[in-house]
Amino acid sequence: MMMLKLAFRNILRNRRRTLLTVLSMAGGYLLVSVQLSVTEGSYDQVLDFYTRDTTGHVQVTVDGFVETPTLYKAFSLTDDLQQAIDALPGVQATAPRIESSALGYGDTRSFPVSVRGVDPEREAALSYLADKVSAGRYLSSEPDDQGYAGVMIGAQVARQLALDVGDELILVSQGADGSLANDLYRVQGIVGQPGDVEERWVVMPLAAAQSFFVLPGEVHRLVILGADYRSAPRLAERIGEMLPGQELTASSWQTVAREFHETMTADKEGGMITLYVIVFLVCIGVLNTVLMSVLERTGEFGVLKAIGTSPARLFWLIVLETLLLAVIACLLGGLIALPINLWFTLQGIALAEPMEISGIVFSHYRGQMSAYVFGFPMLVILIAAALIALMPAFRAARIVPVDAMRTL
Amino acid sequence: MSSVIETRDVSKHYGEGDTLVKALDRVSLGIAPGEFTAIVGPSGSGKSTLLQLMGGLDNPTHGQVHLANKDITQMSGRELSDFRRDHIGFIFQAYNLIPVLTAAENCEYIMLLQGVPEAERRERVYAMLERVGLAGREGRFPHQLSGGQQQRVAVARAMVSRPNIILADEPTANLDSQTGSDLLDMMHDLNRNEGMTFVFSTHDPMIMERASRLIRLKDGCIDSESEREA
Ligand SMILES: Nc1ncnc2c1ncn2[C@@H]1O[C@H](COP(=O)(O)OP(=O)(O)O)[C@@H](O)[C@H]1O
Ligand SMILES: [Mg+2]
């Protein structure tokens, strides 16, 4: 208690210097916290969007399909399995998918397309597919009155084959049994714009895809949306334990979209470098003031030692003083960061030009309010303060009382 | 009679070669309990150095310093600081109170290091400050006290932790003669009534008058010694 009192009064001695030190550390805290908030908020937005849009959080597939997808690595999806996964806590939606390729024919031309078989209702509840219809209607499970299954086509497919809503599309491919697959479909809708990832897609109801590729009751992926993309690895583990047989595996989106995940992580780490530079600059300033305050008090430390203060205690006194400054700075910084981060979270900064990804518009940089955004800068500042204090504290601890007191 | 502190052949040299200064040269000296000893001598004769070595503030170049049959010159930094805390009270010419602590806290500090319980600390501090005539000024900071009052706090600080000996390096040099004389009377009282052992270094004739033993230093050596009935 006495040491805390001593430390506290010591930092109040030179108020102007203390204020400057606290302000510079608080400024460092503020910059780190706000940048983290905006970075985390933006990545959060992107990752949340990406996983919903593309991979889901977890996928059940045949072993190896994620790495090298082929038509033949399909599995039969039982109602039992799907219901069991649907019933897991935190699972928001599940949707089966079939993925393969085919050659599409319009009136006069042909064009290679990527075929997606989806359950229209389940897919609409999981991904943004239903939001991306740019013309016509979203997919329906029922064939039209002439018995044709309806499909949605990507913008590039529509252009290359000169197709529009209501036209007929012929697909030719190979079935899983080796037979020649070909069938006629009615274009019901156009999905996305030219340039979107969906531009070469032909999306059809799951049952139509199963019969086209001769995969009765089978699917390539069961896509699962959990509570949060961050907890995907844990969810994948849970689901993995429920899977029957050896050949099925549950992979989190980090595995499914490995490259994307690695790019994002590297990008984020690159952003952290700026933060460390800020902290480093703040540290140099603070180190200077701490050193100065220790040097000024050399004589006094000599007296403290002369009357029986141990070197270790003197060491801790300096560390304590610096940590006290850091704690005050973090509290101050946190107090200022709070409304700023809140504003970024609720309001955000408008992008100069709204970014559109597959028909979904990102218009704002958003912040994030989380324990991480406030706690991490605090940890960094406290650790930095402790490191800064080491050298001056060591100096003070090693003082020889007679020499030190001569400076009085 | 056995000594509280004993120096055996203690030397302290500063510098080397041409600039070598023998601040102390083979000084052997024992201080008995209850003594009120004055070390006198011209400036630069080694008085401060002798007190510093006796108090474990510095290590001698040669020789040993014994307290309670322990050679303190062999102690580590940590052992030495504990030794000073428990056995030595220091009074300095420039008072050297901790500026951010009040009079009471300055006194309390060493007992805190010693692990004396809070209630006992307070009781001893208040009694001691009253004893040195500072009742009612316990909460003042050093800069709110006069030089004489600060030196009284320093005496109280040195006394209150119950050391074996108090080493005072020219304690009255910064004080006017009346204040110095009052302070000396007070220390003399503490010496006679509580048996506290004092060793002073001084130029002050007032201290020499009251001292029970006078040690004259010259060029780092004991020049002469005299004892007197107090
Ligand atoms: N740190 C030091 N470095 C060099 N010489 C010193 C140092 N401390 C004391 N001395 C020298 O040692 C001698 C004794 O000094 P000191 O003990 O302070 O004498 P006094 O207290 O009697 O005036 C003096 O000549 C002084 O200059
Ligand atoms: Mg001196």
Question: Over the stretch A325-355, which tens digit does the pLDDT of each residue have?
Answer: 999 999 999 999 999 999 999 988 887 777 6
- Whether pLDDT at B1 is above 60: no
Determine the pLDDT at residue B219: 94
B43 close to ligand 1 (CB < 6 Angstrom): yes
- Whether pLDDT at A240 is above 70: yes
Which amino acid, one-letter code, is at A291? L
Determine the pLDDT at residue B120: 96
- Whether pLDDT at A358 is above 60: no
Residue-wise pLDDT tens digits, A290-311: 999 999 999 999 999 999 999 9
Cβ contact B20:B13 at 8 Å: yes
Best-predicted range by mean pLDDT (A11-20, A115-124, B66-75): A115-124
Cβ contact A171:A115 at 8 Å: yes
Determine the pLDDT at residue A347: 86
Residue-wise pLDDT tens digits, B16-45: 888 999 999 999 999 999 999 999 999 999
B12 close to ligand 1 (CB < 6 Angstrom): no
Determine the pLDDT at residue B218: 94
Determine the pLDDT at residue A349: 81
Determine the pLDDT at residue B208: 87
Average pLDDT over residues B166-191: 92
- pLDDT range class, residue A264, cuts 50, 70, 90: confident
C-alpha span between A161 and A109 (Å, rounded): 6
Stronger pLDDT, A349 or A391, i.e. the higher one: A391
3-state SS track over chain A = CHHHHHHHHHHHHCHHHHHHHHHHHHHHHHHHHHHHHHHHHHHHHHHHHHHHHHHCCEEEEECCCCCCCCCCCCEECCHHHHHHHHCCCCCCEEEEEEEEEEEEECCCCEEEEEEEEECHHHHHHHCCHHHHEEEECCCCCCCCCCCCEEEEEEHHHHHHCCCCCCCEEEEEEECCCCCEEEEEEEEEEEECCCCCHHHHEEEEEHHHHHHHCCCCCEECEEEEECCCHHHHHHHHHHHHHHCCCCCEEEEEHHHHCHHHHHHHHHHHHHHHHHHHHHHHHHHHHHHHHHHHHHHHCHHHHHHHHHCCCCHHHHHHHHHHHHHHHHHHHHHHHHHHHHHHHHHHHHCCEEEEEEEEECCEEEEEECCCCCHHHHHHHHHHHHHHHHHHHHHHHHHHHCCCHHHHHHCC
Determine the pLDDT at residue A387: 93
Determine the pLDDT at residue B199: 96
Average pLDDT over residues B87-95: 94
- pLDDT range class, residue A207, cuts 50, 70, 90: very high
Contact A2 B94 (CB under 8 A): no
Classify strands A133-136 and A180-191 as parallel, antiparallel or unpaired: antiparallel
User: Best mutation site among B12, B48, B200, B202 for ligand 1, i.e. most ligand atoms within 8 A of its Cβ?
Assistant: B48
Q: What is the average pLDDT value for chain B, to the nearest integer?
A: 93
Q: How much is the pTM? A: 0.80
The alpha carbon of residue B229 is apart from the nearest alpha carbon of chain A, in Å, by: 32
Percent of chain A past pLDDT 70, that is, above it, reads: 98
Average pLDDT over residues A80-109: 93
Interfacial B residues in 198-227 facing A (CB < 8 Å): none
Determine the pLDDT at residue B119: 95
Other CB atoms within a 10 A radius of the CB of residue B100 amount to: 19
Average pLDDT over residues B116-128: 95
Closest CB to B113 among A306, A309, A408 = A309
Q: Within 13 Å and on the Cβ side, how many CA atoms surround A256?
A: 24
Average pLDDT over residues A60-69: 93
- Complex-level ipTM: 0.93
- pLDDT range class, residue A360, cuts 50, 70, 90: low
- pLDDT range class, residue A115, cuts 50, 70, 90: very high
- Whether pLDDT at A43 is above 90: no
- Whether pLDDT at B229 is above 80: no
User: For residue B3, what is the DSSP state?
Assistant: -
Average pLDDT over residues B195-218: 92
The alpha carbon of residue A302 is apart from the nearest alpha carbon of chain B, in Å, by: 9
The alpha carbon of residue B51 is apart from the nearest alpha carbon of chain A, in Å, by: 11
Contact B100 A305 (CB under 8 A): no
